[in-house]
Structure formats: structure tokens, C-alpha cells
Structure 1
Amino acid sequence: MSERLPEQPLVVNFEANGRSIGRYCCSMEMLMGKAKDIRMMTVYGYARLVGFDEKFALKPDILESFEVEEGRIFTLRLRKGHKWSDGHPFTAEDFRYYWDDVVNNEELTRAGLPQVLLSNGKPPTFEVIDDHTIRYTWEEPNPAFPLGLAYPRATYIYKPAHFMKQFHPTYSDRGEVEKKAEELGYRNWAAMHTGLGRQYRPENPEMPTLQPWHNTTAGPSKRMVFQRNPYYHRVDPDGQQLPYIDEVVLLMGSTDIVPAKTGAGESDLQARYLRFDNFTFLKEGEGKQGYRVLPWRAGIASQISLYPNLNYKDEAWRDLFQNRDFRRALSIGVNRNELNEQLFFGMAKPGADTVLEASPLYKESLGTSWVQHDTELANRMLDDLGLNKKNAEGTRLLPDGRPMEIIIESAGESTEQTDALELIRYHWDELGIRIFTRSLQRDIHRRRFLTGETMMTVSKGLNIGLATPDLNPEELAPVSPAQPNWPVWGQYTQTGGKAGEPPSLPSVKRLLELYNAWRASTNDAQREAIWSEMLEIYSEEVFSIGTTREVIQPVVINSKLQNVPETGIYSWAPSSFFGVYRPDTFWFAE
């Protein structure tokens, strides 16, 4: 081990989750539904330069240390003796190669630097201090930089230079490199370099990695085998190198049959493609099929949320959607307790689309803001908005005389959402508002709400359930055209005013100001204050209508699999699904 480990390996804290010292052995199988699910090995493995621990604090991981000065000078120190999975040293050269020969090479990176490498649109000064020290210096603070390194889909600011140079004309004969690209079926050398050098989707078995397991299977294949990385940088408290499990096998199939195969005991660790409505079925097979079902909780802010499109093209409806009293009336018109009982057997929690109790930013007022079921108050608020006229069927009328009929669109990927809308249909009938539903393909759906054709969207809630001050509050402000509640305003921000329209509501302008203030923040106190104000505004304004929270997420594990937490939060960020719970420490009992 002394020859394979860094001089100072990362010692995993076993007390944090009551872990036990394990033993080396075995193959762990997981079910996946699509070829691109191979990326889950990078998400679950969760080896990052810096990463979140189980309390969602940012800590050095692959890095030995990580120093920040003035919020704009970042010094990264590598672990001496750390090696790639093929045994080659991991050094500052891997960062230099990425900076000089990849991200600043126009043939490879036509879109320019990733957003996390820009502060106020400007790139950093990059320096190699020595073989194990790198520094990035921006003119202004860049708190998004460490987040970009820690996210489940991280920004990789390094590449295995010793391996990638054979595909780069700066280090190899251009003619030979282009010839190799043609032989392998790529359109040019740049496409080959990108395709063979992916780290997030580790499809190339020749590509070295720093993750706990490395791919050994050339795809496409129904059985992708990942073997233990012999040069992995983490150890247990006894000094034994991790991971304990010899290999991980991804069994590729169809998403539809994952629950059935899981119930037949064909997976050792499964949560992907399992839903709450599989829970009872899976519990029935517990024990008989050699597995246990753990009741983790979903980490999104709300299991099902409604997003009124504040940029809807119809002026009368747009004015209403931009009126917070109308959004509030819609919210308190929803009977969340009924949704909870009918859809989740009362095992979830009614609440708003905001942070969960596990978040350090949680306040009870956020979760309960405008979520009480009060049909009488909702009707009174709608009357006060001048919507007090109805037709013969009892449907309220818009000021221009049209009936108030809302079409709610979805990407058609969730029976939960469909069932929820059926119940909400009756809730809003009591307000004199009729709803209709429409299911569309995801790409078509997104194009429609950007062009102002979608009135309202039903989808999962915000991904801020476990937010900490260090996380980017971008979901609470209009920053992207992919946001269903203000896509045109988000497009304006993303393009720097080249497309879309600037926000017109004072509250939304304030959210954008606060988001930009977070981007310029230099310490946790500033970031916490910014997050708190943004959460207050978002909840009071009801920019999305949350319904139920902390829904049970079934996690099925082989009965012999150890060190998997009995309870956990299953979310994309910051927990990286299983990632922060350290699958490299999981092991099989005899």
C-alpha cells in the first residue's frame, strides 16, 4: 500500500456515520436503464478536488489543501505521491495541460471557458507554483469556483496529460493524429480528444481516473464492469486503502423493469428508477429475496411543484401570474394534506418549495408560507383582484370575459404528477378556476415555455432542499431560459442582454441583485445573509407552488451490504445521491 497511496492519504471519518471497518471482496451489481447512466459511477464514486462531507461542508478530497484569499485567489495543493489509476503521477502538469492545451485551445473548446472559471465574465491568471501546487487568481471574487469542482457533474480542471497528449497535435504529429481520428470514426482530432477523454462519462476503458473504480469495459455493453482503482487516495481509520469492494457492475436494461428486477433481488444497491409507489411492492419481497428496503428521503424542495409562467404571451394571464396575490390564492387553494394522504399515504410532509429541515438555512416560516388550505380566503383574494364574475358553469371570468382556464403542461415522465393534477383540478374548481393538462416531450416542452406558449408547468421542485450558504442560489433568480417560471428573464441574464427581456417585477430584480451579490461574496456570513433574504422573497412571493416534501425514496440494498446509512437524503446536490455517504466504504459481510 505504501507504494500505491499518496504520502498523506485522506483518512475517512468512520465515526460520522457509525461505519465499521470492512474487508476486501466481492462484486456489487446495480441496475441502470440507459447507456449514458455510466456517468452514475462518477456521481456515486464522488472523488472530487474538493467535495461535500455528510454535513454538507466543503472539504479537500483529492486535494491535500485548498486555500482562499480575498475570495478571489485560490491555491490548490496536491497530495504528493498521488497517482492515476494506471500508476502515473498526478501532478500540476495535468492542470497545466487542461489550461493551456484544452480549455484555451479554440479547436477543443469553441464555447470558451466554463462559467466557474469566469468571474464577472473574466478568466483567472493561472500559475503552476511547483509540481504539487497550482494557483488561480481572479480580479474579483469567485465563490462559484469551488462549487464547480464539488458538484456531482464537476468541472474537471485537470486531465491525465500523459495519456491525452497522444491525441493532441501539439504533442504528436498532426497528420498521424488526424489519421487515428478517422480510423476510430471521429470527424476530426478534436472530437476524438473529447470523446476519448471524458471523465464525467467514463466510457473509454483506457482513460485513467482518480475515482474509486475504473471502467474496464468498452461499450456498448449490457454489462459494464468497474474494477478497484489500485492507486485510490482514501483509507479507512486502520490505514487500509479504499474501496473495499473489488468491482462494481452496471447491468444495462430498461428503466421500466428496474423496480421488478430490484424486487427479484437482482441489484445490490438500488435507488435509481425507484419511486415511492414501488415501496410497498419492494417491502413485500424484503427478506425473501435477500435484500432490505431503507426509507431514505428525497432531497428536492418539493416532490411536485407548479410553476406559473410569468412570461406567458397572453397579456391578461401574464398580468395575473405576475400578481403575487393571485399566486398566493392558487397556493392556498391546494389541499396538500389530501395530496399527501392520497399519493404518499401520509408519509410525506405538506410544505412550500423551499429548503428542507436538514438545511442549515431552514426556518419554519419558509416551509409554511402560503401553504394552508383556505378555500374561503383564496376566493376572497380572487374577488379582491376583480375576478368576481362567473359564467353559468361557475367558472370565473377574466376582465375581458374569457373563462379562467389554465393549461398545465408536463414532460410526461411522472404518474405522480398526473395523479396530483387530478386532485388539484378539484381543489381549484372550488375557486372557480378550471385546469386542463397536456403532456409533451421534454425538449418541446422547454421550447414552449421559452416562447411564452406554456401557461403553467408541473415538475419536481427546486434542487435547493439541502442548500448551504456555499451553494449557488441560482434557482431562486432568473438566470437561465430553462427555468419554467421566468424563462425570458432568465434568457436575458444568461445572454447578457442579447436575448430575452429584463425582469420587470421589483421582487425579481431584487433576487437578481442578490444573486449577483452572492457571485461577488467573499465569506460565509455574506453568503448566508444573501441566501436568507432570497429564500424569504421567493417564499413570500410564491414563485413556485410547492405541495409535498421529504417523500420516502426507497433504497434497496443487499442484506449483506454494510455501512449504508439506514436513513439518508437522496438528492442530486449537494449529496450526489450516494456520493457523500462514501460508497468506497461499503462492504459485504461473509
Structure 2
Amino acid sequence: MLQALVEAGELPPLAERLPKDVLTVPVVESIGQYGGTWHNVAGDGGIATIKMVTYDPAVRWKADYTGYEPGLAKDWEWSDDGKTITFHFREGLKWSDGEPFTMDDMKFWWEDLASNEDYKVVSVPWWARTTDGDPIEMEFPDDYTWVLKFDQPQWIMPYILAQGFWEWNPLMKPKHYLTQFHPDYEGSDYDELDTMDRWWENPDYPVLFAWHVVDYKVGELTTFERNPYYWKVDPEGNQLPYIDRMEIEIVPDEEVRILQSSQGKYEATFRGCGSPSDIPFLLEQAEAGGYHLQAGWMNGAGAWPGWMINQDYHEEQDYDADAETEEAVEIRELLRNQDFRKGLSIALDRQRLLDVVWEGIGNAKQFTISPQSWHFASPEGKAIFDEWAAADAQYDPEGAEALFDGIGFVDADGDGWRDLPSGAAFTLIFDQNDWGGERVTIPSNEVFKGDLAEVGVNVLINNVIGQPEANTRGNYGLFMLRNTHASEIDLWTYPDWVFPLRGGGEGSRAFPMQGLYYQTGGEEGWEPEAGSPAAKLQALYKKGLAEPDEQKRHEIIWEAVQIHMDEGPFVLGAAGDQPIPVLVADNFHNVPEYGVLGPWAPGSPGNTNPCQYWIEQ
């Protein structure tokens, strides 16, 4: 494809297109052949699928999820105090239209877009602010050097840039292209700038990815062609990507996607052909469809399903302690009682739920983050993870009854249901949402409700799927229990499952109000009591951010997990470790046998370098 353009004089020779500092990418199976079209499918607007396939940040997740490695930035270093980070980008990088990528582009993003108070679409990232909320200082001393100056140590900054597509993509702004729409340069208004600043639907937009958009049909199909100036090569020096074209079709109906996948319509699809429950059907059709499933690809679920137990329960979004009812206070005290939470956990028959909901796919286990997390890769880490996965996960209804009886959570009026210790009637309310999919949450809630009925706990399922109050109830602590799907690889960049750091509209887990307190610097939310689990976990997170040693940061994670085991559970899990169907045509090569798709942070499959995938002609 590209050689013909070179011979026709329409494209410079390869030596002039590659940067001085190329990135050599290992291939999974073999050196590939050029050519072909990769047909893929997505179930939504396709944006997430597109951005995962084109994952190419400054710093990358490794393909095996064991940590991070250079991407567009070839290296970086910290000052001795960890407050200044200097990134060195690859010399000679070019946008897909052949124009140089330099720090002028980064400076344009920072000064003319992010720091521009008149342009609200692009803002200063959360990580680029001081502890007082002001923008940090950035310097661009030459074409390939980017310096960030913080007011406190920022040892995890490179890793933040590696997370998914949402941290780095907003920084990639081709100045030579966007200035024609910017009012401070050649443009007329910010609305036009916003419209044109969408690389995933604008064929004229220069990118740094392996493929660039050449055609976009809203809600139907996005077509890409290979980037002739891409900056990666295979071990023999061949420029990547191998595949000439990629088409991502939008098919909202899941059953249609699964059927079309089973008929061999797509060369490879990672999130488009259903859930673990669809694997048996896809395997039955594999030979006729000319494909196979990569058996080692996992969802990465530490809890699917899971339930968050609200440690900050209250009844009104605008919390007023003076107006709070005695019943609300007593319910919160019950939810915070460890024996109550342990009783809920061991009352759940996880194996039965696994059989009913998943037909035995996966493992019955307690809530954790992803088993593939790099924090637990060492033998010591794995031992701690295994202990966490087993904590209070045994099925022991008699033990649950004993725990409940011991805290005065008994049937006070003889109606068959346990009452609050005060004697007031009590109903445990499950907020039923679609986090993890309705196919999981709805039957899981019914199983758990039935198990709790056996030990005298009256459960009401409050279906908030599609309801506007669903997020409000979760974010501001108005729920008792609510459904969740837990998966995460790195707890320093996405800490919420273990460390209560956020609440309100930013999202929350089991400590919504105490997390809000941390997030707002004490301006909102509830201050954790000294020595409480939330206080100890927040202190550990601060300790980790100030720790320059990677291994010691892993060990701090282990300390935090130990708090969850010793003083929890705060989140319940029933099952996890489910595989996910990844369909690959028999003539499609270099897709790894192993991958993780549940947590979006690693950008999978982008972290496996789809540029080295190839199609046998």
C-alpha cells in the first residue's frame, strides 16, 4: 500500500518517515505480512473500542500487565525530591500528515486550550494542579523535552499518563491543524474548534496512532487506514502497522453482534461478542465460522457480581446531622458493624450463585481487585491476594446467625424477620443497578436475597436501572447495598476500590461521604474518625504517594488490603476470574493468548500493540 505511494512520488521513502528514536515492538508469533482489512465491531458509539485499539500514550502499560514502559516518551526522570518530572520524547516523531510532533504541540495544548478560560471543552487535568488547586508549572525547553513542576512529590505521574485513553489523548493536539479553527489564530469561534477537534470522527485530523480515520458514518461505521509516519517497527525494522485498513462497525443489539461474530464476519473483536455466558455458543460455531477464541483473555473481575456496603448511610443528599432520624443513625451503625457485614458475607452461597448466574464459569470468591494486578505478581503478593479472595467467603449460614444474634440483630417481634437492636423493624435495601450488566445483577440479587431470607434478613430490591436517582443514591451515600463490578490493575492511579478518596459526583464506593471529605480537602463530606478504617486507608494512600520505591508502594497496598481483611468486608464479592470471549479469525495473527479487558486502565487490547497484528492473505 505505502510502497506504491512512494514509487508514485506521493510519499517520502521510509527512512524519511521514521523518527530517529523508533520504538521496536516484539511480535507475538511471527513477522507479519502487509495488507488486509481488519473488521471489528462495537456495541456503543464505538468510541471506547476505537480508543482502546489505538492506545498509544507517552507511557504505556506493558503487554503482560506487570508494569509500565516507554511509549511516545523514550524515558523520564525525577528530581531528587520527586517534585519535578522531565519527559524526553522520541526525536523525529511525525503526525500522520507528515508534520513534526514537537513540544510546540504540547505548549499549544497547555497554553491555548487547557489554560484558556474562554474554551471550556479542554481543561487543566486534575493531576496538573497544585495542592491549592492552581495549575502547576510546565516548561518546554526544547522540541522533545517536557518538564512538569509540582508542589509535592509526584512519583506516579508517568503511570497516570498510561491509564486508558482519557489521560493522554486530550493532550495530543496538532497545533498546525487546530490553529486554523482557534479564534486566537485563524479561526472564527470556539464552537468550530470543538467540532473539528475530534480525531475519532474527523478524517482530516492528524494523529500519532497506527491508523487514522478516513471515513466516518455516524452510528454505523468508522474506517481507518495505516499511518505512513507511524513510529514503531518490528524486530526486523519493518514499519508497523502491518494491516492496511480497519473498519469498526456499530451494532447496538448484543444478540446481533454475537450472531454476526459466530458467522465469521470479524477478523478480531475483543469487547464485541458477548459475555462469558456466550462462550459455549461461540465455541460451537468456531469451526464453521473460521475463528477461534483466545482462551487466556479474562475479564479481570475481582467481583462480578459484587455489593458495596455503605459505611456512610444517610437519608438525604443535603445531609443535616441535626435533622437526622434515630432510625437512620441506627441503620448506619448496623452497616458499620463488622459482625453484621461478616454475617452478610458468610450467609451468601457463592457456589450456588456461580452455578445459577454463570453456569459455573469463573470462581466463587470474595471481593478483590483484578487477580492480574501488578501489586500481587510476586509470591508474597500472591499469597496476600489469595488470602483476601478467601476472607469471609465460606458459606456458613449458622455462623451468620450466630454473628447476628451476638450484636442484637434478632427477631424481636416474632414475625420471622430480624429487627434493629432497638427493636424497630428493618428491611435491608439492595439498590439494583446494571453495573456489570443486568444479566448478572438481577439474578445475583435474587440469589443473595434468598440466602439472606434463610437467616432471617428481610431484603427489598430497589430497581434503579435507568433511573435518574441511581447515581445520586450511590455517590452521596443514600443506599444500603448496591451492585458493583470490581476490576482494577493499579491502585495508585485508580485507588477507589481500596482507598476511600472520592465521593459526590466524582464517584464513590463504600465510603462515599468520608471519600468526599478527602477529595475536597475537608470542605465537604464527613471527617473519618481517628483510627477508623477510612482514616487509616487515607493515611496509607498519602504515604504511598510520597514513596519513591516501587516495591515499597506495592507493600503499602498489601497493608491496605490487610485492613480490608481485618476490619472489613466493606465490599462483598460472589464470583470472579471469568474469561471473556475474544474472537480471532484463523488467519489473523499475533494476538496474545493472554489479556485483561475488565479494567479499562491498561487500554487493552492496545497495550498488546495491535500494530503487530497481521492478516494472512
Q: TM-score, normalised by structure 2?
A: 0.87
Aligned to 2:258: 259
Equivalent in the alignment of 1:160: 174
* Structure 2 letter corresponding to 1:399: P
Greater mean alpha carbon deviation, residues 275-284 or residues 138-147:
138-147
SS of residue in 2 equivalent to 1:59: strand
Q: Determine helix, strand or coil for the equivalent of 1:101.
A: helix
d(CA) in 1 for partners of 2:414, 2:408: 18
Give the Å deviation of 1:548: 0.9
1:72 Cα deviation (Å)?
A: 2.1
Deviations 1:276-299 (A, max 9, x none): 111121112111011212232111
With over 3 angstroms needed to count, the CA separation of the structure-2 counterparts of 1:369 and 1:8, relative to structure 1, is same
Q: In the alignment, does 2:20 pair up with 1:7?
A: yes
Query: 1:339 aligns to what?
Result: 353
- Bigger mean CA offset, 72-81 vs 358-367: 358-367
Work out whether 1:81 is the aligned partner of 2:92. yes
Q: Who is 2:343 aligned against?
A: 329
Aligned to 2:557: 531
Q: Mapping of 1:65-80 within 5 angstroms?
A: 65-69=75-79, 70-80=81-91
Residues 315 and 195 (structure 1), Cα distance of their counterparts in 2 relative to 1, 3 Å cut = farther
Change (3 A) 1:193 1:442: farther
| SS of equivalent to 2:237 | coil
Residues 219 and 108 of structure 1: is their aligned pair in 2 closer, same or farther, counting only changes over 3 Å? Answer: farther
Q: What does 1:252-401 align with in structure 2 at a 5 Å threshold? A: 252-256=250-254, 257-273=256-272, 274-295=274-295, 296-313=297-314, 314-359=328-373, 360-361=375-376, 362=382, 363=384, 364-401=386-423
In structure 1, distance between residues paired with 2:370 and 2:123: 36
Moved more, 398-407 or 21-30: 398-407
- Give the whole-Å Cα distance in 2 for the aligned partners of 1:264 and 1:389: 57
* Aligned amino acid, residue 350 of structure 2: R
Residues 519 and 573 of structure 1, relative CA distance in 2, 3 Å threshold: farther
Pairing partner for 1:569 from 577, 593, 596: 596
CA drift at 1:31? 1.4
Q: Is the 8 A contact 2:407 2:421 kept in 1?
A: no
The aligned runs of 1:385-464 (5 Å cut-off) are: 385-412=407-434, 413-440=437-464, 441=466, 443-461=468-486, 463-464=487-488
Cα distance change, pair 373–582 in 1 and its aligned pair in 2 (3 A):
same
Q: Which residue, 4, 9, 24 being the options, matches 2:34?
A: 24
Contact 1:141 1:519 in 2 (8 A): yes
Q: Write the deviation string for residues 87-113 of structure 1: whole angstroms up to 9, x where unpaired.
A: 100111111111211111111248952
CA distance in 2, matches of 1:472, 1:449: 18
**Do the aligned residues in 1 keep the contact of 2:313 with 2:478 (CA within 8 Å)?**
yes
Alignment of 1:129-140 (within 5 A): 129-140=141-152
Structure 2 CA distance for partners of 1:143 and 1:442, relative to 1, 3 Å: farther
Q: Distance in 1 between matches of 2:75 and 2:574?
A: 42
Aligned to 2:218: 220
Partners of 1:489 and 1:501 within 8 A in 2 = yes
Which of 33, 36, 41 aligns to 2:50? It is 41
Cross-structure match for 1:240: 238
- 1:108 pairs with 115, 119, 142, which one? 119
1:480 alignment partner in structure 2: 502
1:451 to partner: Cα distance: 4.4
1:264, 1:289 within 8 Å by CA — same for their partners in 2?
yes
The partner residue of 2:159 within 147, 150, 154 is 147
Report the alpha carbon displacement of residue 333 of structure 1 after superposing the two structures with TM. 1.2
Task: State the shift of 1:547 in Å.
Answer: 1.2
Confirm or deny: 8 A CA contact 2:307 2:482 kept in the other structure. Answer: yes
After superposition, the Cα gap between the structure-2 partners of 1:205 and 1:444, relative to the gap in structure 1 and judged at 3 Å, is farther
2:60 equivalent to 1:60: no
Q: Does 1:512 align with 2:556?
A: no
8 Å contact from structure 1 (residues 117, 145) kept in 2:
no
Conserved 8 A contact 1:312-1:449: no
| CA distances 1:324-366 after superposition (whole Å, capped 9, x unpaired) | 2211111111111222223333331122221444334232211
Q: Determine helix, strand or coil for the equivalent of 2:148.
A: strand
State the match for 2:11 in structure 1. Answer: none
Q: Verify the 8 A CA contact 1:562 1:589 in the aligned structure 2.
A: yes
Residues 3-30 of structure 1 show CA distances to partners (whole Å, capped at 9, x for unaligned) of 211112100123xxx4211111111111
The CA distance in 1 between the partners of 2:265 and 2:612, in whole Å, is: 21
- Deviating more after overlay: 475-484 vs 313-322: 475-484
Displacement of 1:138 after TM fit? 1.5
Aligned partner letter, 1:265:
G
1:33-60 superposed Cα distances (whole Å, 9 cap, x missing partner): 222x224222222111011112332111
Q: Which amino acid aligns with 1:143?
A: W
C-alpha deviations, 1:517-550, integer Å up to 9, x for none? 2333333144223211112212331110011111
CA shift, 1:394, in A, is 2.0
Decide whether aligned partners of structure 1 residues 13 and 111 sit closer, same or farther in structure 2, where only a CA change above 3 A counts: closer
Compared CA separation, residues 331 and 279, structure 1 to 2 (3 A): same
Matched-pair contact (CA < 8 Å) for 2:42–2:271: yes
Residue segments in structure 2 that go unaligned for 5+ positions in a row: 1-13, 315-327, 377-381
Q: Which residue is 2:184 aligned to?
A: 170
Structure 1 runs (4+) greater than 4 angstroms displaced: 109-112
Where 2:294 maps in the other structure, the secondary structure is strand
Aligned to 2:319: none
Letter in 2 for 1:244: Y
Q: Distance in 2 between matches of 1:266 and 1:444?
A: 40
Distance 1:110-1:194 versus aligned 2 partners, 3 A rule: closer
Q: Secondary structure at the match of 1:227?
A: strand
Number of the residue aligned with 1:550 = 577
Tell whether 2:206 aligns with 1:208. yes
Matched residue SS, 1:511? helix
How far does the alpha carbon of each residue in 1:502-528 deviate from its partner, in whole angstroms, 9 at most, with x for none?
234711111111222233333314422
Shift of 1:171: 1.9
